Chains A and B, each alone.
Chain A
Amino acid sequence: MTTDGARAFGAAVEVETLKLRRATAARVAGVAVVVGCCGLSGAFLAVARAGGDSTMAAKVAPLVHGTGWAAYLGVVAQILSVAVLLAVGLVTSWSFGREFVDGTWGSLVAIPTPPGTTAAAKLVVLAVWGLGLCLATVALAVPVGLVVGLGPPDGAALGGAARVVVVGALTVLLGLPFAWVSSAQRGYLPGIAALLAVVVVTQLVTVAGAGGWFPYAAPGLWAGMGGQTAADAVTGLQLALAVPVAVLGGVATVRWWQRAEVR
């Protein structure tokens, strides 16, 4: 990247960061992910530890594997794998699609900052925002774990926290390709529709037993959504498929922005 290119990218990152900071959708989604994941996980663990034969206890039991911090953070990772995909996918769809719906797309063309640079800046800002949500979730999960009576974090907590961050980071990457759908279809609703379709397909593929090789299912399975056996069966290669999916989606989005006409 040339000096001018780097300067333009820096300016675009600055502008997109401000737009995301001011966006109600990003704030609501962020709070929902961080507070929702930790709150639900704490509640689920409390129900599971209380035992009993309630319907809730029966529903929660398949999510909780092991005991203590490992079990609790495993639940956090499972919920995060869905919540972050929805949050990042939705906000990504909105961030790209709103430029067309609001009519601001034309103002991002024929200026010194090329539209492809703006698209790349959006993706970077969204990825950092998503990763920040994952780290904030871990940060909040610790006091919530103490509140539900898990005691001081142990060695298993460190491993569990690392798994939460890895699951979250992979899922953030998987949320970025919806930018291409929103761009190519010039609106956020197509991106959100594609996101919902992927969530449904993920469920079907997982039920069919091929989830490990489906990039959108692998992180959740590894977190324990299909049980401990299914989690142990997920390989590093299967998890790593999220990276080429994100790269392909990102490159396709940037190229679309570079070439698209303003109509």
Chain B
Amino acid sequence: MTAGPPGVRRGETLLRTSAVARAFGDEVAVDGVDLTVHAGEVHALVGLNGAGKTTLMRLALGMLRPDRGRARLRVVPGPAVDARTAPAATWAQVGHLIETPFAYAELTVTETIRCAARLRGLDRHEAATAGERVIADLALEHWARRRVRTLSLGNRQRVGLACAVVHRPRLLILDEPTNGLDPAGVVRVRRHLLEAVEQGAGVLLSSHHLDELARVADRITVLHGGRVVGGLPPDGTDLERQLFAMLLAADGDAAGGAAGAPGAAGVGVARRDGGGR
């Protein structure tokens, strides 16, 4: 897998949110989050349900207007652009899967992926070729001619992932991408993501599976109550214990009137050795 046009080098910032915040009525979903995703890395978000992961991803994709702060993208050469007003050329280098996959019950798997490719700027020939490639990459050949309505939840998720990556985007934003997948499917998806990262793509990923994150993430940022409360070392031990300790500390700080953990800069904690995947 390649990762889009030349001009954005490995390590450069593809996505930056700056003090971004969003509330729904009285409910504060995201509260002043600074976050970056660089080319050639997987940045993982963890947190309990309602922590603000999905809202943060939607803000990063311009799907929601921030109340404060901003989300900016730079996935093609040139200045960074605001996510709410980003041009088609920017979106041609972004792939996403947020909650529900691009899956139309009446279409076959092949048709669905080709439709996704067409809407992501590929011409008919490119869409057909890219569709075949990604079907093979994600081991969907057996279901290629089946209607999406006949697929299991896990295979629908895999189709959604295929749609998100079919145009070889430079930035991937994936909300719990391995939801419903069997272990073999998880391995396939992991391999696919890591190949993309190897080629220079940046990935923002959320998951509740800490062991899975430990295998793919370069940085893990912990969200809680819409705020960044710290980071976890991907190569650390007993991440679950560390996560709950961090969340308890954050709740204690909030109760004491000091929201957010000291030193939580919103950049996650980086993998120390770069290996272990």
Q: A residues bordering B, Cβ < 8 Å?
A: 4, 7-8, 11-12, 14-15, 18-19, 22-24, 102-104, 106-114, 118, 261-263
CA distance A11 to B106 in the complex (A): 18
Q: Is B63 an interface residue (CB 8 A)?
A: yes
Residues of B within 8 A of A107 (CB): 96-97, 100-102, 116, 160, 163
CA distance A147 to B92 in the complex (A): 56
Is B64's CB under 8 angstroms from A263's CB?
yes
Q: B residues bordering A, Cβ < 8 Å?
A: 24, 58, 61-65, 83, 86, 88-89, 91-92, 94, 96-107, 111, 115-116, 118-121, 160, 163
Task: Say how far A30's CB is from chain B's closest CB, in angstroms.
Answer: 15
Is A8's CB under 8 angstroms from B63's CB?
no
Majority SS of interface residues in chain B? loop
A-B contacts besides A19-B107, A262-B98, 12 pairs, CB < 8 Å: A8-B88, A15-B118, A15-B119, A18-B107, A110-B83, A111-B94, A112-B92, A112-B120, A113-B119, A118-B119, A262-B58, A262-B64
Known pairs A8-B88, A102-B100, A102-B104; A109 contacts B118 (CB<8 A): no
Q: Which residue of A lies closest to B108 (CB)?
A: A22
CA distance A110 to B88 in the complex (A): 8
Is A261's CB under 8 angstroms from B64's CB?
yes
18 contacts between A and B (CB under 8 A): A8-B121, A11-B119, A14-B118, A15-B115, A15-B118, A18-B111, A18-B115, A19-B106, A106-B100, A107-B96, A107-B97, A107-B160, A107-B163, A110-B83, A112-B120, A261-B63, A261-B64, A261-B65
Residues of A within 8 A of B118 (CB): 11, 14-15
Total A-B residue contacts, Cβ distance less than 8 Å? 88
CA distance A212 to B63 in the complex (A): 43
Known pairs A8-B88, A110-B94; A104 contacts B119 (CB<8 A): no
CA distance A103 to B160 in the complex (A): 12
Residues of A within 8 A of B89 (CB): 112
Task: Say how far B102's CB is from chain A's closest CB, in angstroms.
Answer: 4
CA distance A11 to B167 in the complex (A): 14
Residue from B65, B96, B103, B119 in contact with A112 in the complex, judged by beta carbons closer than 8 Å? B119
Residues of A within 8 A of B94 (CB): 110-111
CA distance A112 to B127 in the complex (A): 14
CA distance A236 to B94 in the complex (A): 50
Residues of B within 8 A of A261 (CB): 58, 63-65
Is B61's CB under 8 angstroms from A109's CB?
yes
Residues of A within 8 A of B163 (CB): 107
CA distance A111 to B96 in the complex (A): 9
CA distance A201 to B111 in the complex (A): 41
CA distance A113 to B89 in the complex (A): 10
Residues of A within 8 A of B104 (CB): 19, 22, 102, 104
User: Which residue among A11, A24, A106, A111 has the maximum number of chain B CB atoms within 10 Å of its CB?
Assistant: A111
Is B65's CB under 8 angstroms from A111's CB?
no
Is A114's CB under 8 angstroms from B119's CB?
no
User: Which residue among A103, A104, A112 has the maximum number of chain B CB atoms within 10 Å of its CB?
Assistant: A112
Task: Say how far B50's CB is from chain A's closest CB, in angstroms.
Answer: 14
CA distance A110 to B64 in the complex (A): 11
CA distance A95 to B103 in the complex (A): 14
Task: Say how far A172's CB is from chain B's closest CB, in angstroms.
Answer: 22
Is B63's CB under 8 angstroms from A262's CB?
yes
Q: Which residue of B lies closest to A26 (CB)?
A: B106
CA distance A15 to B122 in the complex (A): 13
Residues of B within 8 A of A14 (CB): 118
User: Which residue among A8, A19, A24, A106 has the maximum number of chain B CB atoms within 10 Å of its CB?
Assistant: A106
Task: Say how far B60's CB is from chain A's closest CB, in angstroms.
Answer: 9
Residues of B within 8 A of A263 (CB): 24, 64
Is A23's CB under 8 angstroms from B106's CB?
yes
Task: Say how far B145's CB is from chain A's closest CB, in angstroms.
Answer: 13
